[in-house]
Amino acid sequence: MFDTAINANDLIFLAKGAGMTIFVTVISVFFGTVLGILFGVIRYQIGPVWAAPLTFVLDIFRSIPLLIQLVLTYAFLGMVLKLGLSGLTVACMVLTMYCSAYCAEIVRGGIESVPLTLRRASRSIGLSWGQDMRYIVMPLATRVALPSWIGLALGVMKDSALVYVVQVTELLKSTQILITRLQEPLLLLAICGAFYFIISFPVARFGGYLERRWSND
């Protein structure tokens, strides 16, 4: 007979951890996407030479492991600058910049996928740069960039498991706490995996739906 020490309170504890994972992911992906769009447009518009300083900074966030970024930022802001920011704030800040660094490349690639002849045609009929970006470039670039952006959002959600190093109790940390107390690692990890699946599956399916709909337009 199947026997376990896991009770309803433990499942609620895991659900709260999942809620924290969702919160950190939503905040980081939202602001990371906004910054990523801005950085991507800037990089494309001013060219690789003038954008070199920005590219260098973004490369730092893409190259250094996220775990190291979290630890160094938390220590620098707390011990050096004495800002006293919470671990949650630091986690959202670091994940936002991490997301924006990758999103900027996705946006830049999406914009470059729009044929120059189409852009010249839009300008020749009197559209301003802003109108060209809004009505021509961004709709077409979004179709190209969406699959990569969905992958990025899901990646940030899974990478949020590392924020435990800055004292944020998200889903995986909650699971580890229960494993230490209940000594049922396989079952708890299976439940943890089920939570991650429940969170990520709707996002992946919605992205697939948008791709199919746009491909038929």
Assigned token pair, 106: 């996705």
pLDDT 10s digits, 49-100 = 888 999 999 999 999 999 999 999 999 998 888 888 899 999 999 999 999 9
Domains plus CATH for the chain? 8-215 (1.10.3720.10)
Average pLDDT over residues 154-181: 93
DSSP alpha helix (H) spans, the chain: 8-50, 52-63, 66-75, 87-112, 116-124, 129-131, 138-159, 171-182, 185-215
Average pLDDT over residues 197-207: 89
